[in-house]
Structure 1
Amino acid sequence: MRHEALLSQIERFCERTGMGETTLGRKAKTDPRIVHRLRSGCSLLLKTEERLQTFMRNYEKNALPTSNKRGK
């Protein structure tokens, strides 16, 4: 299946961030059911895959606290 790697990335992202799959879809693509449809076998445009991956990468880079902030 073509989207197994993307689904795996999404699962790991949701575990690390505590974000639900519907919230991810809503924030990344204004589509809360996109992950559900992906699991059901629907295909995505490459542009949509890239948008999801970019959102996850930027969210983790900018939103999650790191131990280096504030001298810790």
Structure 2
Amino acid sequence: MPSWTFAIRGSGAMWRRFWQSVPAPGDNDLFALRKTGEMTIEGNLKPFMANLIYVKEVLAMPRLLDDKT
């Protein structure tokens, strides 16, 4: 049985926009996408918020690959 503490969910199209090397305004931040309803953040938010900068940086890493693919 899968187990998770928190989940960050969005459509494939949303992730592709988020991972562009220079995302459009509103597609560049997890909370902006959550506010528009394109992304959900669910589960135990305490570890998510405690490690927010790390989580944001890890999720933004694919942007560095955009120009190389």
- TM-score higher than 0.5 here? no
User: Highest Rg: 1 or 2?
Assistant: 1
Taking structure 2 as the reference length, the TM-score comes to 0.34
**TM-score for both structures, normalised by structure 1:** 0.33
Whose helix proportion is higher, 1 or 2? 1
